[in-house]
Homo-oligomer: A and B are copies of this chain.
């Protein structure tokens, strides 16, 4: 390590929180932030000179000072964009509203994919791939589908240098083309159920975009199934929303509320939509996954029929369900804090970072040797480890950097630790000295057990914290005034509801809140609609949302 670079070495010996505060207060000095401005499509003809100057400036800047994050409480949106930029999760693409998913952000998406892909296959679904270009006429075939999607379409009108006879839609979702193909593959009840899924990109021409949460193009999986009976279709829809729910709780440590959408909020073309709704750190709701019972709507529009066991032709009963890269945004906004990202161990691309510490050159070899042994021990037991042995940065810089990247555990190894055969372990979720334990023996079986145990603890602790936050921000309401008060405090309101679609839209207009869902978990007892005073069968949850 070069001595010139040791200026911030003192970080090591002061509690991270004070260092972090110092960093944060300098946030106003930050020169630019990619993600704050929406880039336009730029012409590059006049770019080079100016860009080069800018690059030189960036290059010359102290990189540590760039990594400053707006306090979450001060400006949640700025905090979110800062975390995405500084943790290198994503960047804007050159076309308005598009996003480049950078390796660290993509690795989180890969963790989501790996878990769900296994669950989909276990429940009998096969992956396949449908073309993304859909004839415009297809979109028009299901009445409410076209109404829902036509304002958001991107259209290809020129191919191979020629104007096309029929415009092609770049898929916003695939129900139409799926049904077109199902019609060719499904003949009799023996061909059912047909259970498929695809991992794909989709395009929706959104006007207000936000990285991960709402982008012009995004990545998702979309499941599509066809069944012989409405009961089977309903079972499928419930099965898939259950898989999403379990994923959210057990992997992402996000305590979603699972329920049914109101008619107003149901997917364009579906009979029923089930949803998982997550409370973000600013208390806004994020619709994080949906499962639609399509009934026979698309089957009727496309003539998707089968011959049943009695030789009678019937339309199939269908479902579709999806989770997208939006979920990555949900993870950031659920767990992150002022120091940056905080990742649940089960979906963290790096679960443990090892930071070796030495002052003198004669200490370096022993420290690096011990760090490398620790890395091998943990890696062999299946833990995702990163050893940050670069000598370009100080340990203090590295501490901040990997905290900002949300790595759940940090192992520090210095000369004294080597001498005593132990390491220091810090938890990302407990700041400062409280989260730091000294003298953990390097002995492999001890270290492995300790680390695995701590990762489990962090996983549980993130979920518990999110549950507590969620529950303390949901207000039970019995009048419209109660609801208005709850929403104006930024909270979620839960209350009995049996009013009309018009009343629902009135609530939205007057408070900005929508029905997120009728939750599966319903309170016992007689209910009275808080809006009309009529009897109500269910409570609904209202909130402002992304």
Interface residues of A (CB under 8 A from B): 34, 41, 43-44, 47-48, 51-52, 55-56, 58-59, 91, 93-95, 98-103, 105-107, 109-110, 126-135, 137-138, 141, 150-161, 165-168, 170, 177, 180-181, 183-185, 187-188, 190, 196, 200-201, 203, 205, 207, 216-217, 219, 302-303, 305, 307, 313, 392
Contacts and interface: CB of A to CB of B under 8 A. Distances in A.
28 contacts: A41-B137, A43-B137, A44-B302, A48-B303, A52-B313, A55-B183, A93-B131, A94-B177, A98-B133, A99-B131, A100-B129, A101-B128, A103-B127, A103-B128, A103-B196, A105-B128, A106-B129, A107-B126, A129-B219, A131-B216, A133-B216, A153-B161, A154-B156, A155-B157, A156-B156, A161-B205, A170-B170, A200-B201
Contacts of A44: 137-138, 141, 302-303
Contact of A130 (B43, B100, B183, B190): B100
Contacts of A187: 55, 58-59
A181 B91 contact: yes
Contacts of A132: 201, 217
B161 A151 contact: yes
A127 B155 contact: no
B161 A167 contact: no
Contacts of A313: 52
Given A44-B137, A94-B177, A160-B207, A55 B305 contact: yes
The SS class assigned to the A binding surface is: mixed
Contacts of A98: 131, 133
Given A106-B128, A135-B94, A160 B156 contact: no
B138 A94 contact: yes
A128 B219 CA distance: 11
A307 B183 contact: no
Contacts of A188: 59
Contacts of A170: 156, 170
B184 A91 contact: yes
Nearest to A98: B131
A303 B41 contact: no
A52 B303 contact: yes
Given A59-B307, A103-B126, A158 B155 contact: yes
Contact of A155 (B141, B159, B181): B159
A51 B179 CA distance: 14
| Copies of this protein in the complex | 2
A51 B303 contact: yes
Contacts of A157: 155-158
Contacts of A392: 190
Nearest to A215: B131
Contacts of A201: 132, 200-201
Contacts of A205: 159-161
A122 to B, nearest CB: 13
A488 B141 CA distance: 52
The 3 closest A-B pairs by CB, nearest first: A103-B126, A160-B205, A98-B131
Nearest to A219: B129
B158 A129 contact: no
A41 B43 CA distance: 36
A379 to B, nearest CB: 13
Contacts of A131: 93-95, 98-100, 216-217
Contacts of A126: 103, 106-107
A187 B44 CA distance: 18
A153 B162 CA distance: 10
A47 B303 contact: yes
Contacts of A128: 100-103, 105-106
Contacts of A190: 392
Contacts of A158: 153-155, 157, 167
A504 to B, nearest CB: 26
A184 B34 contact: yes
A144 to B, nearest CB: 18
A50 to B, nearest CB: 10
A216 to B, nearest CB: 7
A6 to B, nearest CB: 18
Best-surrounded residue of A98, A107, A154, A159 (most CB of chain B within 10 A): A159
A135 B133 CA distance: 19
A159 to B, nearest CB: 5
Contacts of A48: 303
A440 to B, nearest CB: 30
Nearest to A303: B48
Nearest to A161: B151
A388 B150 CA distance: 45
Given A91-B185, A160-B205, 17 more contacts: A34-B184, A44-B137, A44-B138, A44-B141, A52-B303, A59-B187, A91-B184, A94-B180, A101-B128, A102-B128, A103-B196, A106-B127, A106-B129, A107-B127, A131-B216, A132-B217, A201-B201
A168 B166 CA distance: 18
A157 to B, nearest CB: 5
A160 B166 contact: no
Given A106-B127, A159-B154, A159-B155, A168 B95 contact: yes
